[in-house]
Amino acid sequence: MEKTKSRTQTIVIAVVLVVLAVVILGSIYFQNQTPRLYPGEVREYQGENLSSIGNLDENAIRGNQNVYNSTYRLNVNGLVNEPAEYTYDQVVNGFQSYKKVVTLYCVEGWNAKILWQGVLVRDLLNQSGVNESAKVVIFHATDGYTTSMPLSYFYDHDIMMAYKVNGLVLPPEKGFPFELVAESKYGYKWIKWINQIELSDDVNYLGYWESRGYSNDADIP
């Protein structure tokens, strides 16, 4: 019995060490890679040095999505008073634009400090009117990816849905037309290729990675 317990403890310790090694080596690997620079991208903003757009990894559950401006629609629905459907131009030109430098931290160990430009999620929500029963905002992407955050998160913070990075229109492989700038959250909350914002009362909703064991809070320590 003692031998079995000792063997189990040894296995657990070994697994923990392997995970730590992967995180550390991953961080070293990404920090030493020379990113592909995008022509014309801004590398400094208000005294802050910026990472290249090329530092943003291109993880996707079904490959990079090609979304066309002419046919794209953003739906805001669920527990809202007036569901809405917007074209790309209506979102970009119909709401106040904001700029902010925010660092994206990935659970794989890499990070990138980027200048983001976009519209506030709460401005879109306010335009449709939030039902008093709504508790959660669920984001959907063109590839079927989803993630969610409490409604209060978008009213306590200026959370953007970005359409530009480092001064350039969001490239297709980086999430065009919109990527969520989920400040203080790990990268799997930064959903790309957004095509739907759904208001819900399901506080137990779990998105793609969250339903596979990732923390639903995704708070950066």
Q: Are 181 and 115 members of one domain?
A: yes
DSSP assignment of 149-185:
EEHHHHHHS--EEEEEETTEEPPGGGTTT-EEE-TTB
Residues 130, 45 within the same domain: yes
Beta strand 136-141 with 194-200 is antiparallel
Q: Are 121 and 91 in contact (CB under 8 A)?
A: no
> Can you give the pLDDT at residue 88?
98
Q: What is the mean pLDDT of the chain?
A: 89
Least confident of 59-63, 72-76, 128-132, 161-165: 59-63
In angstroms, rounded to a whole number, what is the distance separating the alpha carbons of residues 36 and 174? 13
Buried b or exposed e, range 35-66, using 16+ CB within 10 angstroms: eeebeebeeebeeeebbbbbbbeeeeeeebbe
- Would you state the pLDDT for residue 27? 46
In a domain, 217, yes or no: no
23 and 58 fall within a common domain: no
Which of the four pLDDT bands, split at 50, 70 and 90, describes residue 143? Answer: very high
pLDDT for residue 18 is more than 50: no
Residue span of the structural domain in which 164 resides:
38-212
In tens, the pLDDT along 163-183 reads: 999 999 999 999 999 999 999
pLDDT band for position 211 (cuts 50, 70, 90): very high
Query: What was the pLDDT predicted at 134?
Result: 98
One domain for residues 193 and 99: yes
Does one domain contain both 53 and 75?
yes
Write down the pLDDT at residue 58: 76
CATH number of the domain within which 47 lies: 3.90.420.10
Same domain, 93 and 15: no
User: Cα–Cα distance between 193 and 65 in angstroms, integer?
Assistant: 7
8 A C-beta contact, residue 149 and residue 205: no
Position with higher pLDDT, 9 vs 45 = 45
- Report the percentage of the chain scoring pLDDT > 70: 84
pLDDT at 35: 65
Query: Does residue 221 have a cis peptide bond before it, meaning omega lies within 30 degrees of 0?
Result: no
The tally of domains found in the chain comes to 2
Whether the CB-CB separation of 171 and 67 falls below 8 Å is answered with no
Tens digit of each residue's pLDDT (9 = 90 or more) over 94-109: 999 999 999 999 999 9
The closest alpha carbon to 165, from 101, 70, 90, 111, belongs to 101
